[in-house]
Amino acid sequence: MTATMIKEFRLPDLGEGLTESEILSWKVAVGDTVALNQVIAEVETAKAVVELPSPFAGTVAALHEEAGAVVEVGKPIVSFEVDDVGAEGSTAAGSGSEASTSNGAAAAVPPVTPAKREANLVGYGAVVEESGHPVRRHRTFDSVPEREAVQTPVQQPVQQPAPQTIQEPEQERPRSTPPVRKLARDLGIDLQLVKGTGPAGLITRSDVQGFAAGSHEQTEARAAAVPGGRETRTPIKGVRKFTAAAMVQSAFTAPHVTEFLTVDVTPTMELLERLKSSKAFAGYKLTPLTIAAKAVLIALRRNPTLNSRWDEASQEIVQFNYVNLGIAAATPRGLTVPNIKDADGMTLLELSAALSELTDTARSGKTSPSDLSGGTISITNIGIFGIDAGTPILNPGEAAIIALGAVRKAPWVHNDELAVRQVMSLSLSFDHRLVDGEQGSKFLAELGAILADPAMVITMV
Q: Where are the domains of the chain?
A: 4-135, 178-228, 240-459
Per-residue model confidence (pLDDT) at position 88: 43
Per-residue model confidence (pLDDT) at position 407: 97
Per-residue model confidence (pLDDT) at position 1: 61
Is the predicted pLDDT of residue 382 greater than 70, yes or no?
Answer: yes
What rounded mean pLDDT belongs to the chain?
78
Residues 6+ apart with CB under 8 A from 414: 264, 266, 421
DSSP annotation of 176 reads B
Candidates 3.20.20.110, 3.30.559.10, 1.10.10.60, 3.10.450.750; correct CATH number of 240-459? Answer: 3.30.559.10
Per-residue model confidence (pLDDT) at position 229: 65
Average pLDDT over residues 85-104: 43
Which has more pLDDT, 131 or 255?
Answer: 255
Is the predicted pLDDT of residue 150 greater than 70, yes or no?
Answer: no
- Is the CB of residue 428 less than 8 Å from the CB of residue 444? yes
Per-residue model confidence (pLDDT) at position 228: 53
Per-residue model confidence (pLDDT) at position 329: 87
Which has more pLDDT, 28 or 247?
Answer: 28
Please list, residue by residue across 290-323, b when 16 or more beta carbons sit within 10 angstroms of its beta carbon and e when fewer do.
bbbbbbbbbbbeebebbbbbbeeeeeeeeebeeb
Quote the distance between the C-alpha of residue 48 and its chain's center: 6
Average pLDDT over residues 110-133: 42
| Ordered strands of the 4-10 beta sheet | 33-34, 58-63, 76-83, 4-10, 99-101
pLDDT in tens, 320-337: 999 999 999 887 777 889
Rg of the chain on CA atoms, in Å: 27
Per DSSP bridges, beta strands 33-34 and 58-63 are antiparallel
When mean pLDDT is compared over 213-217, 240-244, 255-259, 297-301, the highest value belongs to 297-301
Per-residue model confidence (pLDDT) at position 422: 97
Which of 185-189, 394-398, 430-434 has the weakest average pLDDT?
A: 185-189
Which has more pLDDT, 178 or 215?
Answer: 178
- Same CATH fold, 240-459 and 178-228? no
The single-letter code of the amino acid at 232 is T
The pTM assigned to this predicted structure is 0.56
H/E segment holding residue 450: helix 437-452
- Is the CB of residue 377 less than 8 Å from the CB of residue 300? yes
DSSP annotation of 98 reads -
User: What are the helix and strand counts (H, E) for the chain?
Assistant: 9, 23
- What span, in angstroms and rounded, lies between the C-alpha atoms of 368 and 358? 11
Per-residue model confidence (pLDDT) at position 213: 67
E strands, 106-249, are 116-120, 123-128, 134-135
Which has more pLDDT, 366 or 439?
Answer: 439
Residues 6+ apart with CB under 8 A from 451: 263, 265, 268, 291, 292, 295, 424, 426
Helices (H), 138-265: 178-187, 205-213, 216-225, 238-253
DSSP bridge pairs for 26:
41
CATH class of the 178-228 domain in this structure:
few secondary structures
Active site residues: 432
Average pLDDT over residues 431-438: 91
Is the predicted pLDDT of residue 205 greater than 50, yes or no?
Answer: yes
User: How many CB atoms within 10 Å of residue 67?
Assistant: 13
- The percentage of the chain sitting over the pLDDT mark of 70, rounded to a whole number, equals 72
- Dihedrals φ, ψ of 24, to 5°? -75, -45
Residues 6+ apart with CB under 8 A from 277: none
Per-residue model confidence (pLDDT) at position 209: 79
DSSP bridge pairs for 380:
403
Per-residue model confidence (pLDDT) at position 243: 66
Average pLDDT over residues 135-163: 43
Per-residue model confidence (pLDDT) at position 215: 41
Which of 128-142, 244-258, 280-294, 304-318 has the weakest average pLDDT?
A: 128-142
HSE-up of 161 (CA within 13 Å, CB side)?
Answer: 3
Is the predicted pLDDT of residue 115 greater than 70, yes or no?
Answer: no
Per-residue model confidence (pLDDT) at position 442: 96
Cα distances (Å, whole numbers) of residue 428 to 10, 175, 256, 300, 372 = 44, 45, 10, 13, 21
Which has more pLDDT, 413 or 115?
Answer: 413
Is the predicted pLDDT of residue 340 greater than 90, yes or no?
Answer: yes
- What span, in angstroms and rounded, lies between the C-alpha atoms of 311 and 59? 49
Per-residue model confidence (pLDDT) at position 139: 41
- What span, in angstroms and rounded, lies between the C-alpha atoms of 239 and 367? 11
H/E segment holding residue 20: strand 20-26
Candidates 3.40.190.90, 3.30.565.10, 2.40.50.100, 2.60.40.2310; correct CATH number of 4-135? Answer: 2.40.50.100
